[in-house]
């Protein structure tokens, strides 16, 4: 009989994603910290334990890391830079939902996503930020 598997309550995964394509084919470099942990849903937790039966803590963490890498890339590929800039909370929820669906297969869910930095090699994000700042300044001067 397999040893019982313990789904980790907290795993902090740090990433330095390079050249993640967006819907616009603009590649982003994203530094992020994504924290995952055992699901609050008992059924998901039990299903995850069965799926991971016989795996060590280190193996479970690596499986989670691989899933997050794949699903974060998928989440970014579905959106535009405007989506990211328009609403940070929507962006984080979008990524969390996409990643969370996959992690639920192993009894985990996303606890937190901390985006540390987003850049692109073409300077598109920087120019978009400058345009947004200029527009905000014009609006302030009008009022």
DSSP 12-51: EEEEEEEEEE-TTS-EEEEEEEEEEEE-S-HHHHHHHHHH
Sign, CA torsion 128/79/109/6: negative
Per-residue pLDDT at 1: 52
Per-residue pLDDT at 127: 78
pLDDT tens per residue across span 108-124: 999 999 999 999 888 87
- For residue 55, CA distances in Å to 13, 50, 108 come to 19, 10, 15
CA distance 98 to 104: 11
Per-residue pLDDT at 49: 95
pLDDT tens per residue across span 57-114: 999 999 999 999 999 999 999 998 888 888 889 999 999 999 999 999 999 999 999 9
Per-residue pLDDT at 64: 97
């Amino acid at each position: 009989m397999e040893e019982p598997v313990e789904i980790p309550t907290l795993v902090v995964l740090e990433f330095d994603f390079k050249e993640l394509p967006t819907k616009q084919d603009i590649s982003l470099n994203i530094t992020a910290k994504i924290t995952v942990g055992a699901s609050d849903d008992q059924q998901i937790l039990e299903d995850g334990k069965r799926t991971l039966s016989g795996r060590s803590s280190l193996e479970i963490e690596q499986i989670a890391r691989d899933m997050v890498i794949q699903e974060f890339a998928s989440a970014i590929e579905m959106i535009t830079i405007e989506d990211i800039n328009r609403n940070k909370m929507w962006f984080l929820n979008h990524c969390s939902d996409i990643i969370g669906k996959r992690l639920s297969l192993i009894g985990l869910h996303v606890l937190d996503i901390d985006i540390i930095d987003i850049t692109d090699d073409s300077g598109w994000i920087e120019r978009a930020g400058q345009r947004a700042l200029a527009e905000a300044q014009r609006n302030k001067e009008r009022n």
